[in-house]
């Protein structure tokens, strides 16, 4: 049985390489289809890893209280006219909430950062000493600012790893000064390296200031949200409680709508799943279309091959080859073409994903490569089945007479 398999495989290779151009053109649809499904899976796999990493940075147990809903479809003027978040809400939430483990006001705006002759523009954040409890990042070097530094408005700053590398290289930045919009701040800490958020933009290029200093210097610019950490196992209860507390703080009547938003990572998850379905659906459509076209091409070329080798089939049957052996030979030839096409498709997908990974996260899972090869084999079996059956049923006498 093994010898028969090897013999059929050897004959298939000879037939494929005897007509290289025809085989490559026939396999083109399969190559495109396998490349498409592999690239789609590669992109989704990279997106999944990036998404999980980004969501862990945002924190699934953090409630973001703001004027705006993430991905909101509400009327813009209605949202714009909502009252702003106020710093005094922090103490009120602490006093009235039993689930709030940490409450941090976060103001944000763009600013110019410089050190000696180096300059960059990035986002700066003004917050309090509880901010570190609301993110999943630690201090890699130095420390975070204290409550006293916040209340006194000290000009100290914690910078991201990207700012540290750009301004100081291998030097220790602790104790050195940088300028934020031409005002000097002393570096007291550096955050751990985090990479890119959703693979799109770096979160390592940020600067965090005490809320007191931010308010005094940049109070008229930027916007504010509140980050509230709640116990992970009490997320829904915490959401309901913070909503009730905020309604009470705002003085809303029972029949009035919320004039604030409480955002969670679920909003990102919903948008991400929509994006993933769109990518997957597009990839599946292109893949199926390419594989159907490729399968029809292989079936057509196998019919031609059977016709061209009719006399050879008659000779083989005359010297004892069974119908099963003939069918196996031509089926093996169709599968061989698809295997070569699948290998080329996976190789192309790997090369393309390597370049894509320079700009966007993409990883090629080993399991996906195996699945793609099995898919190409399945196309070969299906498209080669009818031509192989026809070859197996040819009459040996008639085949020997064929010119």
Tens-place pLDDT, residues 347-372: 888 888 877 777 666 777 777 788 88
Least confident of 144-153, 165-174, 188-197, 229-238: 188-197
C-alpha distance from residue 357 to each of 190, 275, 322, 351 (Å): 27, 19, 52, 10
Q: Between 311 and 400, name the one with better pLDDT.
A: 311
pLDDT on residue 331: 83
What pLDDT, in 10s, does the model give residues 43-100? Answer: 777 777 766 666 666 667 889 998 888 776 666 666 777 888 888 999 999 999 899 9
pLDDT on residue 74: 65
The CA-to-CA distance between both ends of the chain, in Å, stands at 32
Q: In angstroms, what is the C-alpha Rg of the chain?
A: 32
Is residue 182 over pLDDT 90? no
- Characterize the bridge pairing of strands 183-191 and 156-159: parallel
- CA dist 324 and 198 (Å) reads 54
Q: Where are the domains of the chain?
A: 2-54+270-401, 61-264
**150 Cα distance to chain centroid:** 37
- CA dist 143 and 150 (Å) reads 14
- CA dist 156 and 142 (Å) reads 12
- CA dist 126 and 212 (Å) reads 8
Least confident of 120-124, 322-326, 345-349: 322-326
Highest mean pLDDT among 71-80, 281-290, 392-401: 281-290
């Amino acid at each position: 049985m093994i010898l028969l398999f090897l013999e059929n495989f050897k004959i298939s290779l000879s037939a494929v390489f005897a007509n290289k151009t025809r085989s490559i053109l026939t396999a083109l649809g399969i190559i495109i289809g396998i490349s498409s499904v592999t690239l789609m899976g590669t992109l989704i796999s990279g997106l999944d890893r990036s998404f999980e990493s980004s969501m862990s940075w945002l924190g699934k147990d953090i409630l973001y209280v703001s004027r705006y809903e993430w991905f909101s479809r509400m009327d813009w003027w209605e949202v714009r006219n909502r009252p702003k978040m106020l710093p005094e809400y922090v103490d009120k939430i602490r006093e009235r909430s039993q689930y709030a483990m940490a409450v941090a006001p976060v103001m944000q705006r763009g600013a110019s950062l410089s050190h000696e002759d180096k300059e960059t523009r990035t986002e700066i954040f003004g917050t309090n000493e509880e901010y570190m409890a609301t993110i999943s990042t630690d201090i890699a070097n130095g420390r975070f600012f204290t409550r006293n530094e916040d209340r006194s408005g000290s000009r100290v700053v914690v910078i991201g790893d990207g700012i540290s590398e750009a301004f100081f290289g291998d030097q220790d930045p602790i104790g050195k000064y940088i300028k934020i919009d031409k005002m000097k701040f002393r570096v007291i800490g550096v955050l751990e390296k985090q990479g890119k958020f959703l693979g799109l933009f770096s979160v390592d290029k940020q600067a965090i200031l005490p809320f007191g200093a931010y308010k005094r210097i940049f109070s008229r610019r930027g916007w504010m949200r509140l980050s509230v950490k709640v116990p992970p196992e009490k997320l829904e209860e915490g959401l309901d409680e913070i909503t009730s507390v905020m309604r009470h703080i705002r003085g809303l009547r029972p029949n009035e709508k919320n004039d604030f938003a409480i955002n969670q990572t679920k909003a990102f998850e919903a948008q991400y799943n929509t994006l993933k379905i769109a990518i997957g659906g597009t990839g599946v459509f292109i893949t199926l279309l390419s594989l159907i076209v490729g399968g029809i091409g292989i079936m057509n070329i196998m019919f031609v091959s059977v016709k061209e080798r009719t006399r050879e089939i008659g000779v083989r049957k005359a010297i004892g080859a069974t119908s099963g052996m003939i069918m196996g030979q031509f089926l093996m030839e169709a599968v061989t073409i698809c295997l070569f096409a699948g290998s080329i498709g996976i190789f192309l997908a790997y090369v393309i994903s390597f370049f894509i990974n320079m700009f966007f996260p993409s990883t090629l899972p080993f399991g996906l490569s195996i699945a793609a090869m099995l898919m190409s084999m399945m196309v070969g079996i299906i498209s080669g089945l009818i031509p192989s059956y026809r070859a197996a049923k040819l009459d040996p006498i008639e085949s020997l007479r064929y010119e």
